[in-house]
Amino acid sequence: MIQALGYLGFGSADLEDWSSFATGILGMQAVERGNTSRAFRMDDRSQRLVIDRDLPAGQRYIGWELEDEAALAALAARLERAGVAVTREPASLADRRAVRALISFHDPIGNRLEAFHGAETSEKAFQPGRSISGFRTGPLGMGHIVVTVENIDVGMRFYRDVLGFGLSDYMERPFGAAFFHVNPRQHSFAMIETGTNGMHHFMVELCSLDDVGQGYDVAQGDGPQSNLVSATLGRHTNDWMTSFYLRTPAGFQIEYGWGGRAIDPANWTPQKMDEGPSLWGHERAWLPEEKRAEARAMRVAAGAAGRRRQLQVLEGTYALTPGTCAWWDSAMSMQG
Ligand SMILES: [Fe+2]
């Protein structure tokens, strides 16, 4: 079955804008791909994000990764049994995607999905476009993608029942949303019910909180005119990610985060999120004022109820501090 979000491609003529954005703010590495597209690296893979001038603006492809040729064939058969048209793409497209083989199909929302195996890695070390510690990818994939939908139920049937994604959780207020996992990353895919089918954001996760904070500074530019931030720094209730959102040159958003939790997909029960999407922060410029007020009230209520989550840290990036509580420290020191 599908193991991870492998790559993303977006149609845009603004290759130069995308290059300075992806390298200077996100910290990705630009790779030349002729004059029709620009690829960006995040890790040892040859490419993770592609901006394609030949693809009309507003169009995209979402690359889902499988283990091997047999898994890819099994997925194609499963899709066809469900009545989904599948194209076995030629080697020329596999070359452009830097994978061994791929198939393509569409979800009922209108997104072009690709499924592949055998991603190419580069012999050259990843060189970040600005100084960052790195992106958290590997078995968790490149991050997550969130699309907007007219109706969540249609997408639910496809992603959960046909593709076999695991439902992580879902939300009705302040907006309808459903989150899905394909590996321990709490969600690799989500849908937000906004009334239109489109692109909302994709998320990349950094290895250090300082990468995110320094990105937050850079994304705010040197004044309101150049401020790209579309949701302030905050922390999510479901994947515990500390993040902010910024506008891309294509108009959709990117979530830039740190500290996401890992779940055990074999022992997970889907949960309804009654506390809203954020424990704190994430003031969303994209929501209508009435919904912003609702989201704000839910955050304040989560704070008043003392909702807190443990930090999720990578080995070697933390030190335990003494002085958790003066009373406890003195009790412990008396024990000798
Ligand atoms: Fe997100």
According to the model, what pLDDT value does residue 277 have? 93
Beta bridge partners of residue 117, listed in sequence order? 101
pLDDT at 293 over 80: yes
Could you tell me the distance, in angstroms and rounded to a whole number, from the CA of residue 88 to the centre of ligand 1?
A: 31
According to the model, what pLDDT value does residue 39 have? 98
* Tens-digit pLDDT profile for residues 31-76: 988 889 999 999 999 999 999 999 999 999 999 999 999 999 999 9
The arithmetic mean of pLDDT across residues 125-133, rounded, is: 98
Could you tell me the distance, in angstroms and rounded to a whole number, from the CA of residue 225 to the centre of ligand 1?
A: 25
According to the model, what pLDDT value does residue 224 have? 84
CB 52 within 8 Å of CB 15? no
According to the model, what pLDDT value does residue 78 have? 98
CB 193 within 8 Å of CB 152? yes
pLDDT at 102 over 90: yes
The arithmetic mean of pLDDT across residues 276-285, rounded, is: 94
Query: What's the 3-state SS for 232-296?
Result: EEEEECCCCCEEEEEECCCCCEEEEEECCCECCHHHCCCEEECCCCEEEECCECCCCHHHHHHHH
* Tens-digit pLDDT profile for residues 211-267: 999 999 999 998 888 999 999 999 999 999 999 999 999 999 999 999 999 999 999
pLDDT at 163 over 90: yes
CB 229 within 8 Å of CB 220? yes
Could you tell me the distance, in angstroms and rounded to a whole number, from the CA of residue 199 to the centre of ligand 1?
A: 12
CB 238 within 8 Å of CB 168? yes
Mean of the per-residue pLDDT values of the chain: 95
Could you tell me the distance, in angstroms and rounded to a whole number, from the CA of residue 319 to the centre of ligand 1?
A: 28
Tell me whether residue 121 is exposed, middle or buried, using C-beta atoms within 10 angstroms of its C-beta: 0 to 12, 13 to 18, 19 or more: exposed
Query: What's the 3-state SS for 195-239?
Result: CCCEEEEEEEEECCHHHHHHHHHHHCCCCHHHCCEEEEEEEECCC
Closest listed residue to residue 111, CA positions, set 190, 179, 229: 190
Could you tell me the distance, in angstroms and rounded to a whole number, from the CA of residue 144 to the centre of ligand 1?
A: 7
Could you tell me the distance, in angstroms and rounded to a whole number, from the CA of residue 146 to the centre of ligand 1?
A: 6
Closest listed residue to residue 192, CA positions, set 173, 206, 208, 166: 173
The arithmetic mean of pLDDT across residues 150-176, rounded, is: 95
Could you tell me the distance, in angstroms and rounded to a whole number, from the CA of residue 252 to the centre of ligand 1?
A: 12
Could you tell me the distance, in angstroms and rounded to a whole number, from the CA of residue 187 to the centre of ligand 1?
A: 8
The arithmetic mean of pLDDT across residues 5-18, rounded, is: 96
The arithmetic mean of pLDDT across residues 95-117, rounded, is: 97
**How many residues make up the chain in this entry?**
336
Could you tell me the distance, in angstroms and rounded to a whole number, from the CA of residue 147 to the centre of ligand 1?
A: 10
**Structure tokens that stand for 205 in this block:** 């996760």
Could you tell me the distance, in angstroms and rounded to a whole number, from the CA of residue 219 to the centre of ligand 1?
A: 17
Could you tell me the distance, in angstroms and rounded to a whole number, from the CA of residue 22 to the centre of ligand 1?
A: 18
Could you tell me the distance, in angstroms and rounded to a whole number, from the CA of residue 257 to the centre of ligand 1?
A: 9
Could you tell me the distance, in angstroms and rounded to a whole number, from the CA of residue 256 to the centre of ligand 1?
A: 9
Could you tell me the distance, in angstroms and rounded to a whole number, from the CA of residue 170 to the centre of ligand 1?
A: 13
Could you tell me the distance, in angstroms and rounded to a whole number, from the CA of residue 229 to the centre of ligand 1?
A: 14
According to the model, what pLDDT value does residue 74 have? 98
The arithmetic mean of pLDDT across residues 201-217, rounded, is: 98
Question: Which residues are near ligand 1, the ion (C-beta closer than 5 Å)?
Answer: 203, 255
pLDDT at 336 over 70: no
* Pairing of β 37-41 and β 49-52: antiparallel
Q: What is the pTM of this model?
A: 0.95
The arithmetic mean of pLDDT across residues 124-150, rounded, is: 98
Could you tell me the distance, in angstroms and rounded to a whole number, from the CA of residue 166 to the centre of ligand 1?
A: 17
Query: Rounded to whole angstroms, what are the CA distances from 147 to 87, 178, 195, 253?
Result: 23, 10, 11, 11
Cα dihedral 291, 293, 296, 300 sign: negative
The arithmetic mean of pLDDT across residues 143-153, rounded, is: 96
The arithmetic mean of pLDDT across residues 98-109, rounded, is: 97
Domains of the chain: 4-304 (3.10.180.10)
Could you tell me the distance, in angstroms and rounded to a whole number, from the CA of residue 326 to the centre of ligand 1?
A: 38
* Tens-digit pLDDT profile for residues 45-56: 999 999 999 999
Could you tell me the distance, in angstroms and rounded to a whole number, from the CA of residue 202 to the centre of ligand 1?
A: 6
